[in-house]
Amino acid sequence: MSDYNWCHNPDCHTIETQSRVRGTGDNKVLRTMKIKQGRYNYSNDDTPDIYDYFCNQNCLHQFLRKFAREVANIRPVREPSETPIKIEKEQYESYRYQHNGNDYVRTPYQATRTTIINKNSS
């Protein structure tokens, strides 16, 4: 396993920053950024991290814009998923502000709060 990746944004090497400048004398180039694997893996495990493959958010989002269809086709979603839950509805007194021509008047009303109290596992 190599300890470094090259940034996967195909246009990384066209972004003008001092950190990308390589070469000597008159033979200067902008080079794709080199990324140390696990640089944000503070738990030192095998957790994959998107920033092992992209040098920053800008390069990640340039890649996603360019390859949006390909990325979506890696795991197509053709119907919504659902998570079974239990809810609790609760009445409480709230206020709204209504304009009466000159002022805003604080008017009480009976509001409903819906709380998710149970999320089934699996």
Positions that interact with Zn ion (CB under 5 A): 7, 9, 12, 33, 55, 59
| CA 70 from centre of chain | 18
Nearest distance from C-beta of residue 6 to Zn ion, angstroms: 8
Give the pair of three-digit tokens for residue 1: 């396993």
Where b means 16+ CB within 10 Å and e means fewer, 2-20 reads: eeebebbbeebeebeeeeb
Q: Which is nearer to Zn ion, 38 or 60 (CB)?
A: 60
Q: Which is nearer to Zn ion, 66 or 113 (CB)?
A: 66
Nearest distance from C-beta of residue 38 to Zn ion, angstroms: 17
